[in-house]
Amino acid sequence: MNQPDKLLLWDIDGTIIRTKGAGESAMNRAFSEVFGQGGDLYDIDYSGRTDPLLGKMLCEHYGFPYEPESNQAFVDAYVRHLSAILADTPATLLPGMNVLQDLASRPDCLQGLLTGNVRSGGKVKLESVGVWECFAYGAFADGCFDRNELAPRALEMAFEGFGLEFAPEKVFVIGDTPRDVECGQQVRACTIAVATGKYSVTELEAAGPDFVFEDLSDTGAFLSALGIGKPFSPGA
């Protein structure tokens, strides 16, 4: 069978899953645990930011000097709290996300993650809804403050890990925030915005994505945006 000629790069929060505030609660608890006070994300625009950047922003907000060691302790505590919170209050898959299993089985697609989550946090979230195995790899935000660094990294990882290079028009970045769109535009990818997070269709359109959807429940329309005419049927 042919090797993959499309690379799909997915954001997690607000795109694949909704966590009912689990991420925010885990961050707040982690910050209080590591720094002994504060830790409320209320005043911070956190959507589309990387986890390590949020730790740095919280430090700045509460007047603590940024130190790599304490930020790593914050991230580690965050993942531990996140795991506990999701065990009590599971994440939910957003509409249409059964398509992840179908896309993972297609030989013409390589499916990865492009996310502000650290790897361990993204794994906890996606395992909680049973779709972690749908992704061949991920460009995660461990040690990264700038989400825009992650798209080139995702392309490098596709080459290093699978020996695959993709033309920009065959790379699809799928996310729920203007920052996801910007991230995809950095590598001239096709950008697909979905209004299942905090941003409306109108707000997402302002970022100039190639496609905008209210949600991805219309699988046929989404596959068309990917240049796929119909769902893949093994043996068909």
182 sits near Mg ion (criterion: CB under 5 A)? no
Q: Do 96 and 18 touch, CB atoms closer than 8 A?
A: no
Name the amino acid, one letter, at 233.
Answer: S
| Beta strand 6-10 pairing with 137-139 | unpaired
Least gap, CB of 25 to Mg ion (angstroms): 17
Least gap, CB of 174 to Mg ion (angstroms): 10
Q: Which helix (H) or strand (E) holds 167?
A: none
Q: Which residues have CB under 8 Å from 143's CB, separation 6+? A: 52
**Contact residue for Mg ion among 176, 181, 185, 226 (CB under 5 A):** 176
Least gap, CB of 36 to Mg ion (angstroms): 30
Specify the stretch interacting with Mg ion by CB under 5 A; choose among 12-20, 25-33, 53-61, 94-102: 12-20
Question: Closer CB to Mg ion, residue 183 or residue 190?
Answer: 183
Tokens of 110: 């390589």
Q: Determine phi and psi for 168, rounding to 5 degrees.
A: -50, -40
Q: Which helix (H) or strand (E) holds 60?
A: helix 51-62
Buried b (16+ CB within 10 A) or exposed e, 10-37: bbbbbbbbbbeebbbbbbbbbbeebbee
**Contact residue for Mg ion among 10, 11, 77, 166 (CB under 5 A):** 11
**Contact residue for Mg ion among 14, 52, 96, 138 (CB under 5 A):** 14
- Would the CA dihedral through 227, 129, 57, 46 be positive or negative? positive
**Contact residue for Mg ion among 13, 81, 121, 125 (CB under 5 A):** 13
Least gap, CB of 176 to Mg ion (angstroms): 4
Question: Closer CB to Mg ion, residue 155 or residue 174?
Answer: 174
Question: Closer CB to Mg ion, residue 71 or residue 196?
Answer: 196
Specify the stretch interacting with Mg ion by CB under 5 A; choose among 143-151, 172-180, 204-212, 224-232: 172-180
Residues that bind Mg ion (CB under 5 A): 11, 13-14, 176
